[in-house]
Structure 1
Amino acid sequence: MTLEIIIIGGGIGGLTAGAFLAKDGHNVTLLEASNEWGGSAGKFSRGKFLFPVGATMGMGFEEGGIHHRIFQELNLSFPALALDEIMRVYHGRRVMPYYADRNRHLSECSSQFPEYASQIISFYKEAWKIGAEVRKLIKPLPVVPPVTFSEWKKLILSLKPGTPGLLPYLRKTVGDLLKKHGLDEAASFRHFIDGQLIDSMQTTSQDCSALMGALALDIYHEGAYYTEGGLYKIAETLQKYIEDNGGRTYKRKHVQTIRKENGRWVAVDQKGESWRADHVVCNLPIQGFVPLLPEPLQEQLPAKLVKRSKVAQWGAFTMYFALKETVIPPYTALFNQVLSDRSMTEGNHLFLSLSKANDTNRAPEGFRTLTVSTHTELHHWDTKEKYDQYKETLTEKMLLGIERVIPEVRDGIELQMTGAPRAWERFTKRPKGMVGGFPQTNEYSLFNSLSHRTGIDGLWLCGDSVFPGAGTIGVSTSGYHVYRSIVQK
């Protein structure tokens, strides 16, 4: 039976669901509110320069990784350059390479933090062991939290001999693991770990789920990648696949209402144009999804989903530069973190993504593009007066941080732009510019996360609000879960 399916939101999660549904011969219509595909992993151009909007480092392209599996199943290829040095971390006076090779990483940590070398090695060995078991468990892509009998069955069949060993960690945090290995007082190392977790888990060791945090620390060493042009190419590849397989994709279609008429779903955009379908897949933050439904439908949603839709997420403050090649020191890493104050927000933690030399997708010869981001609390931006003043303050603070990596950055600026939360809201249509999904704390992760099922027949969710969370790995998995549930595979 051929189904009519509307997908709202052209981020990577929605595009993944759409590509597989189109592959199976269903009639897919994808509606994207903005001018670009990819959502928070999209792009924009200014003159001769191209900038990734947000997500920049590629994960999951290794053999067996989610992107590798998706492209293989769709019979597509996607080039990605594996990184030996994942990133370089500027941490106080330290400059620390973060190596993909586990032994090199342990050796580097031991030399950087010699007074805690043995504890750090034992901490990582336990974290990696946990991470490896979690990876085995999630390899068949079970749904968490399971809702239906078939989801419970798939989860049970996913269990491995080592799975029971994960139970003692179920309510623990990464902070508990650090304490177990005598690292709770190792402030500098803990700060370093927090830098890795805030980017992947949206929280720090104190609150991060031990299982999810261990997975994050483990998966860095499974493979990190640079993609020519940027991760938006995943989105564009999937969008083309949908079109090539009979689907229809539209930009600048900002859906305002989702309702049900005569047993079918209806989506209406900002111009009053409407589409009808058997299923609606919403690749939206739940803060933007719930208000699209009329009140009687909202009342049918799970209480947990409605309650969580009122919770604010992080915002991002991002700076975009086109730089003259001459000011970039030789051998500068493509990805860098700058950690200053113990806080992981408001310019005290920066993530820098530099285009590769000769990546002419992003910049012409003699230039490179640089994207720099920090987490920010949205309350700093809630009035115009605060917004303008804080934007100026944070811009200068971030430039000082960037100078740790590129000391002469100000002399090489050909173009400089900022993306504060309101710009993120305009570009991605995410409410108030929220990005990154919910923090992977025990309160929000694993069995406490949200299902892709809304509790309403034919209405589905994917993206960073639902399991397994943020990042291209997470949203791709959620999109695949939706596809599999619709076609009952």
Structure 2
Amino acid sequence: MSNEMIVIGGGIGGLTAAAFLAKDGFNVTVLEASNEWGGCAGKFARGQYLFPVGATLGMGFEEDGVHSLLFKELGIAAPSHFLLPTVMDIHFPNKTVHYYKDRSLFLEELTKHFPHLDRKLKPFYEEIWEIGAEVKKLMVNLPVLPAKTMSEWLLLIKSIRLQSVKLLPYLNQTFSSLLRKYELNDEKEFVALLDSQLIDSMQTTSYNCSAIIGAFALTIYHEGAFYLEGGLFEIAHSLTKAIEDHGGKLIKRAKVTSITKQNLKYEVVDQRNRSWSADHVICNLPIPNLAQLLEQSLLKKLSNSYQRKTDASHWGTMTLYLAIKEEVIPHDTPLFQQVLQGELHEMSEGNHLFLSLSKYGDTKRSPAGTRTLTVSTHTNLDHWRSKENYDQYKEALSRKMMEGVKKALPSIEEGMIHFIEGAPRAWERFTGRQQGMVGGFAQTKENALFNSLSHRTGIPNLWTCGDSVFPGAGTISVSISGYHVYRSIKTQIKRP
């Protein structure tokens, strides 16, 4: 049986694939370039303080959530977590909106801040949530898009219900078409509220976002958002333990430099000229990174859909990591917040911030009496290409971000212990992602659903998982992509 598996990249997607493969008895080796597991959901430490690399919510830990179901199938406990009744606060220059999990409370909150939209909000969100509910039902069996094999088509057909036809009118629509339907597209602050959610989960705004995927993303917030003790990297720690418990190998500081193939075997070589032979290679990498590793003969064999995406643009991020004294944090401060700055309601370059604050008493993150805070904004990587302007731009953007942070935590500078800047080059060094790109492809009509990239690269036994392939970015999506790879390998090897 062909069962030697190499997983390149120790992000959540790759670790998920490795954990399931190891559990099924395959010989699995995970190669991670850095000294940490988790990729963009990893961590780093400065003295006694531990910082999650990205400022993100925990999703999918409700009873029927993706993480809960996958951890249950692996036979391991999910990391310690608790539900957030208030998902986050969203700060506008003139108001603060509480984003409640409870849908009725959320609609009441929106009506309070947008009273002139009273009659439009409920029917608009009811349609959004109806779309989201149908998508969730379709996802019960975790079907693959775009389906490439008979087994994938059969699973997709099996997942479709009679009510699924409700989704057909939205298939080729953007989210903005839903806004126009209810005459909400010119309500700039309300659209900004939606865009602040979509940019973090879908990497694009309502104007370009796929209607179906955007509606599902907004529905998930009301399924449950969670705080994980320590941070999202605890997902990676749970998965690495599962891999080791089933005999898998985990190797850090193994930066892969090439993937070649001779006969039916792949050879993977790292920066120390160590090599591994494998029947299957699973790449938990962005597509541009993957393209750099493949020998020319393999690169030419990538599917056309992959070929078109090897030079596609991605977002970058600028992130601030702060350690602060507990005394400067008001007692009712939510753990997750967004800050919107500027009159044009842009969603990048410090105009939109996502803040993730450690919980009181979470000593995995910081000593008693202190907290850690991660603050991020999307940034166009073109702004960082010039060596001459890099430091100047970083300084200006950092100042702008801190002005926004002070709108959420006015006294923060009085309690500052650590202040660390993470610009795109730092992200590139830490994650190995080309130019510091994050978040995968924007979930526009051109990149979402049937236009997504499959985990099948077009090259036999070379697979991809992570945020470049279906379903996209976020720990839920990359976990599903890793599970798709596992399921495909298992099905292929079982085939006579």
Q: CA deviation at 1:261?
A: 1.8
Say which SS state the counterpart of residue 68 (structure 2) adopts.
helix
Say which SS state the counterpart of residue 393 (structure 1) adopts.
helix
CA contact (8 A) 1:353 1:370 kept: yes
Aligned residue for 1:470? 473
The answer for unaligned runs of 5 or more in structure 2 is none
CA distance in 1, matches of 2:141, 2:374: 35
Aligned residue for 1:52? 52
CA distance in 2, matches of 1:139, 1:118: 33
CA distance in 1, matches of 2:254, 2:298: 22
What CA deviation, in whole Å up to 9, does each residue of 1:443-485 have, x standing for no partner?
1000000000011111000000000000000100000000000
CA distance in 1, matches of 2:283, 2:179: 38
Instruction: In structure 1, give the amino acid aligned to 2:170.
Output: Y
Instruction: In structure 2, give the amino acid aligned to 1:348.
Output: N
Say which SS state the counterpart of residue 162 (structure 1) adopts.
helix
CA distance in 1, matches of 2:107, 2:455: 38
Aligned residue for 1:425? 428
Q: CA deviation at 1:434?
A: 0.1
CA distance in 2, matches of 1:202, 1:369: 25
Aligned residue for 1:28? 28
CA distance in 2, matches of 1:385, 1:122: 51
Say which SS state the counterpart of residue 131 (structure 1) adopts.
helix
CA distance in 2, matches of 1:331, 1:91: 18
CA distance in 1, matches of 2:77, 2:305: 39
Q: CA deviation at 1:89?
A: 0.5
What CA deviation, in whole Å up to 9, does each residue of 1:364-399 have, x standing for no partner?
011000000000000111122211000110111011
Aligned residue for 2:238? 237
Aligned residue for 1:203? 204
TM-score (norm 2): 0.98
What CA deviation, in whole Å up to 9, does each residue of 1:59-111 have, x standing for no partner?
00111111001110111112211000000000121111100001100110111
Task: Give identity over the alignment, percent.
Answer: 56
> Structure 1 residues 55 and 72, CA, compared in 2 at 3 Å: closer, same or farther?
farther
Q: Is 2:378 the partner of 1:375? A: yes
Matches within 5 A, 1:59-78: 59-78=59-78
For residue 439 of structure 2, the aligned residue among 436, 440, 453 is 436
Aligned residue for 1:404? 407
CA distance in 2, matches of 1:117, 1:292: 54
> Structure 1 residues 357 and 235, CA, compared in 2 at 3 Å: closer, same or farther?
same
Matches within 5 A, 1:280-291: 280-291=281-292
Aligned residue for 1:215? 216
Q: Is 2:168 the partner of 1:167? A: yes
Aligned residue for 1:306? 307
CA distance in 1, matches of 2:486, 2:76: 18
TM-score (norm 1): 0.99
Aligned residue for 1:15? 15
CA distance in 2, matches of 1:385, 1:391: 11
Q: CA deviation at 1:118?
A: 1.5
CA distance in 2, matches of 1:212, 1:56: 19
Segments of 4+ in structure 1 off by > 3 A?
none
Matches within 5 A, 1:243-392: 243-341=244-342, 342-392=345-395
CA distance in 2, matches of 1:307, 1:218: 31
What CA deviation, in whole Å up to 9, does each residue of 1:184-217 have, x standing for no partner?
1211101111111001100000000000000001
Aligned residue for 2:128? 127
CA distance in 2, matches of 1:144, 1:254: 30
Q: Is 2:40 the partner of 1:37? A: no
What CA deviation, in whole Å up to 9, does each residue of 1:378-430 have, x standing for no partner?
01111222110001101110110001110011111100001000000000000
Q: Is 2:80 the partner of 1:91? A: no
Corresponding residue pairs, total: 489
Q: Which moved more, 1:209-218 or 1:259-268?
A: 259-268
CA RMSD of aligned residues (A): 0.9
CA contact (8 A) 2:55 2:376 kept: no
CA contact (8 A) 1:290 1:298 kept: yes
Q: CA deviation at 1:56?
A: 2.8
CA distance in 2, matches of 1:305, 1:322: 41
CA distance in 2, matches of 1:343, 1:479: 33
Instruction: In structure 2, give the amino acid aligned to 1:75.
Output: G
CA distance in 1, matches of 2:447, 2:433: 20
Q: CA deviation at 1:2?
A: 6.0
CA contact (8 A) 1:32 1:252 kept: yes
Q: CA deviation at 1:55?
A: 4.7
Say which SS state the counterpart of residue 265 (structure 1) adopts.
strand
CA contact (8 A) 2:55 2:356 kept: no
CA distance in 1, matches of 2:293, 2:328: 48
CA distance in 2, matches of 1:252, 1:329: 41
CA distance in 2, matches of 1:59, 1:385: 40
Aligned residue for 2:106? 105
Matches within 5 A, 1:144-183: 144-183=145-184
CA contact (8 A) 1:318 1:418 kept: yes
CA contact (8 A) 1:16 1:480 kept: yes
CA distance in 2, matches of 1:336, 1:219: 17
Say which SS state the counterpart of residue 452 (structure 1) adopts.
coil
CA contact (8 A) 2:175 2:208 kept: yes
Q: CA deviation at 1:304?
A: 1.7
Instruction: In structure 1, give the amino acid aligned to 2:371.
Output: R
Say which SS state the counterpart of residue 403 (structure 1) adopts.
helix
What CA deviation, in whole Å up to 9, does each residue of 1:295-332 have, x standing for no partner?
11111111221121101200000000000111111200
The answer for unaligned runs of 5 or more in structure 1 is none
Instruction: In structure 1, give the amino acid aligned to 2:306.
Output: L
CA contact (8 A) 2:83 2:225 kept: yes
CA distance in 2, matches of 1:262, 1:330: 63
Say which SS state the counterpart of residue 319 (structure 1) adopts.
strand
What CA deviation, in whole Å up to 9, does each residue of 1:235-262 have, x standing for no partner?
0110111011001000000000001123
Say which SS state the counterpart of residue 272 (structure 1) adopts.
coil
CA contact (8 A) 2:55 2:355 kept: no
Say which SS state the counterpart of residue 436 (structure 1) adopts.
coil
Say which SS state the counterpart of residue 238 (structure 1) adopts.
helix
